[in-house]
Amino acid sequence: MNKILKYAFLAVTAALVATVPLYSGAFITRFLIGVILYAIMAEGWNVIAGYTGYPSFGNVVFFGLGAYITALCMINFHTPFILSLVFSSIAGALFAIIIGIPILRLKGHYFAIVTLGIGETMMAITFNVPFTGTGAGLSLPLAINPNLFYYISLIVLVIFIVFLKFILSGRLGYGMIAVREDEDAAKMMGIDTVAVKIKAFAISGFFTAIAGGIYAYWSTFIDPPTVYDPVISIKMIIMTVFGGAGTLLGPVAGAFIIMFLSDFLSTHFTILHTFFFGGLIVMTAIFLPKGLMDVLSQKGIGWKYFIENIRKHRV
């Protein structure tokens, strides 16, 4: 009985999610497209940081790269949108492999800072090479049907989650978690840790670049400060950590809740919005380092749960 209820609930939710643009206004559809794009990116960050234990602070490079590849393909070669997204995703994965080979050897602080620098560097390069339109940015053709973006991004998100679930029950998934828990031990057990890390980074880059490509066509205009904005990296990180890093649906929940709160505050309490992201990150790091999914999985929960991190780690 319980199982039937569960499936019925899932089916109703799926039907609701799939038909949203048909009855909601343009405003809500627009908001949800933003949520889904961030959910894809947060899930992408989750693969490399949540499951593999390599917290990248510069995943926005894949977003920016994807946006630029789609824009350049559509403007210069008039390739169809979907084909441009395919090029973007391949470019994202390739770029992840190329930069991953040197930087995934680094650990801890070093990895974090280098990834932080990659975003800044790509922004500077995009500003200066001639074929990207430099600082003036690129304008894309207008899309005919705005609901298209809702369905495409939703399909990408669903594919990503199903793909990730499949990966996690296989060799690569166990390898990623082993690397996160203890990389040296994983190596001892015969896991090719280098290959595991690079594959995880490539998956992360692949899907984040698709999100970038969708964003480019959706917003019809991109320039370096918008698509390489470090705030995008910050959002991916806080959405994943707040929702629950290393859980399948945590990043999606995090993306929805944080986008909702951020939108709500920025329209109704502009001053509070100033403190929102920074404050939320600080609070999460102190009181909720394991994320919302962990809270939901606890049976009895009290204030002791939230100060456990402090109790264990203060001086």
Residues within the interface to other proteins (CB under 8 A):
49, 55, 57, 102-103, 106, 108-110, 112-114, 116-118, 120-121, 124-125, 127-128, 230-231, 234, 237-238, 241, 271, 274-275, 277-282, 284-286, 289, 309-310, 312-315
Q: Which amino acid is at 54?
A: Y
User: Who's near 65: CB < 8 A, 6+ residues apart?
Assistant: 88, 91, 92, 95, 122, 209, 212
Give me the least distance between CB of 7 and other proteins, in Å please: 37
Q: Give the C-alpha separation, 89 to 73, whole Å.
A: 13
Going 65 to 27 to 36 to 210, the CA torsion angle's sign is negative
Give me the least distance between CB of 261 and other proteins, in Å please: 15
Give me the least distance between CB of 94 and other proteins, in Å please: 18
Give me the least distance between CB of 183 and other proteins, in Å please: 14
User: Who's near 138: CB < 8 A, 6+ residues apart?
Assistant: 68, 71, 72, 75, 132, 216, 221, 222, 223
User: Who's near 67: CB < 8 A, 6+ residues apart?
Assistant: 88, 212, 213, 215, 216, 222, 227
Judged by DSSP in three states, 208 sits in helix
Nearer to other proteins, 84 or 233 (CB): 233
Nearer to other proteins, 199 or 290 (CB): 290
Give me the least distance between CB of 197 and other proteins, in Å please: 16
| Residue 200 near residue 176, CB atoms below 8 Å | yes
| Residue 99 near residue 202, CB atoms below 8 Å | no
Nearer to other proteins, 147 or 309 (CB): 309
Q: Give the C-alpha separation, 81 to 92, whole Å.
A: 16
Nearer to other proteins, 154 or 176 (CB): 176
Nearer to other proteins, 75 or 234 (CB): 234
Please name which of 240, 275, 274, 271 lies closest in space to residue 258, comparing C-alpha atoms: 240
Nearer to other proteins, 28 or 282 (CB): 282
Give me the least distance between CB of 213 and other proteins, in Å please: 25
C-alpha count within 13 angstroms, C-beta hemisphere, residue 253:
16
Nearer to other proteins, 188 or 283 (CB): 283
Nearer to other proteins, 32 or 104 (CB): 104
